[in-house]
Amino acid sequence: MTQKIHPPLTRAALTRAASGSTRVPTREIEWQASDSPGFWTKLLFEDKKTGETTWLMRFDPGAHAASHAHGEIEEILVLEGSFYDDQHSYWPGDYCLRAAGTQHAAASKDGCTMMVIYRAARVA
């Protein structure tokens, strides 16, 4: 079995694997401050051709992002803690699928860690 080993990382930014599996020790990637205070990210995957990205995102307790929208489909899986948007509260194991262009705010009372995937919105 061949295992790829990574040195300590500030971001993974893997691209599509040609074959096999790639292990990313996410605990070794440094959290990067985002444009919104109290929101931190770790970029895990990026396909510049399609615009698809996968992130770990962390909200500090009390963090709040004002209403905004993404040009991509947004998928969220809550890993720890909780967060809420304009419609729902989300807890560990909850999954959110948000259509491209959907206006939403995001906040957390007690902090949250989630995996977020952005995919290009395809027009049929």
Asked if 114 and 77 count as a contact pair (C-beta separation under 8 A), the reply is yes
Residues of the chain with pLDDT below 50 are: 1-9
- Cβ contacts of residue 2 below 8 Å, gap of 6+? 20
> What is the structure's pLDDT at 43?
94
Residue ranges of domains in the chain: 27-119
pTM of the model: 0.83
**Alpha-carbon span 20 to 89, nearest angstrom:** 37
Helix (H, G, I), strand (E, B) or coil at 70: coil
Instruction: Report the CATH fold assignment for 27-119.
Output: Jelly Rolls (2.60.120)
